[in-house]
């Protein structure tokens, strides 16, 4: 018996990184998963590997409302219903706030914040029609506290937590739970610029993070599974869950 037997879940940004691990784990736990991304080649390959009984890929730019409508239609077409969403897609840009071009700020808002809003808006009626389910939004450590040089990103991740709380309040009566994961530093393409390599990243986070290492995308996937599985988290909604090796607990002087 899997924890998600019979469930149908869309995972955005599912072609690589944390979203990929979420798609893999959810399928292993019995779900049928629709992977949505803009990385078509990687997304198609993942869906093929997972098998057409369990997974499909759709091109889904989360900032485009028409793409969401098409993704939900494709999900119902393939698997008959929709009762879960992981709003995982996101982008990160580095730069001082006062020097950030407006277009760049707006692009980050469009993907990280508007994308989550459109995901909730488009899927909630379908999840309600299926009898209820779960939405997990990916915020960040940087959604709980400020972080220099990622101002636009941090603003959108704070907004994701706000959206999570409001959606939880509004959707509870339709039996939809809405929670957020707030990862710290996770070893994916986003946080691990090629020049650092895994070792460079490790030595940086050995100092910053009490648990002494960068996180793994599989670890975030297990938290997303916990929040999606009704048997594990049936009484939890509206909450941000930090998964950061203790980074947010306070300044470390050791």
Binding residues for ligand NAD, per CB under 6 A? Answer: 12-13, 15-19, 37-39, 60-63, 88-92, 111, 138, 140-141, 183, 185-186, 188-191, 217
The closest of 216, 125, 124 to 178, measured between CA atoms, is 124
Query: Closest distance between ligand NAD and the C-beta of residue 123, in Å?
Result: 14
**Residue nearer to ligand NAD on the CB measure, 174 or 222:** 222
CA distances from 149 to 8, 101, 143 (A): 38, 13, 14
**Residue nearer to ligand NAD on the CB measure, 16 or 81:** 16
Residue 235 is a catalytic residue: no
As given in the structure block, the two tokens for residue 215 are 């996180």
Query: Closest distance between ligand NAD and the C-beta of residue 191, in Å?
Result: 3
Query: Closest distance between ligand NAD and the C-beta of residue 19, in Å?
Result: 6
**Residue nearer to ligand NAD on the CB measure, 128 or 201:** 201
**Residue nearer to ligand NAD on the CB measure, 79 or 247:** 247
As given in the structure block, the two tokens for residue 95 are 């730069």
**Residue nearer to ligand NAD on the CB measure, 8 or 224:** 224
Query: Closest distance between ligand NAD and the C-beta of residue 64, in Å?
Result: 8
Q: Which of 57, 141, 153, 205 is catalytic?
A: 153
Query: Closest distance between ligand NAD and the C-beta of residue 188, in Å?
Result: 3
Question: What is the CB neighbour count within 10 angstroms for residue 145?
Answer: 13
What residues are annotated to the active site?
A: 153
């Amino acid at each position: 018996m899997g924890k998600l037997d019979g469930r149908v879940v869309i995972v955005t940004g599912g072609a690589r990184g944390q979203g990929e691990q979420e798609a893999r784990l959810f399928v292993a736990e019995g779900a049928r998963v629709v992977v949505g991304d803009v990385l078509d080649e990687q997304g198609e390959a993942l869906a093929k590997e997972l098998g057409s009984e369990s997974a499909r890929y759709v091109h889904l730019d989360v900032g485009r409302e028409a793409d969401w409508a098409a993704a939900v239609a494709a999900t119902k077409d393939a698997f008959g219903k929709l009762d879960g969403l992981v709003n995982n897609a996101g982008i990160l840009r580095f730069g001082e706030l006062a020097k950030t071009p407006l277009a760049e700020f707006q692009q980050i808002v469009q993907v990280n914040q508007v994308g989550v809003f459109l995901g909730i808006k488009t899927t909630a009626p379908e999840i309600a029609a299926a009898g209820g389910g779960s939405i997990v939004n990916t915020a960040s450590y940087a959604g709980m506290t400020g972080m220099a040089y990622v101002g636009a990103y941090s603003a959108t991740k704070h907004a994701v937590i706000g959206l999570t709380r409001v959606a939880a309040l509004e959707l509870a009566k339709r039996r939809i739970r809405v929670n957020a994961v707030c990862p710290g530093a996770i070893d994916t393409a986003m946080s691990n610029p090629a020049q650092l390599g895994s070792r460079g990243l490790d030595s940086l986070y050995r100092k910053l993070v009490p648990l002494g290492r960068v996180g793994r995308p599989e670890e975030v996937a297990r938290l997303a599974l916990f929040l999606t599985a009704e048997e594990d988290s049936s009484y939890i909604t509206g909450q941000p869950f930090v998964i950061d090796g203790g980074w947010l607990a306070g300044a470390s002087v050791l």
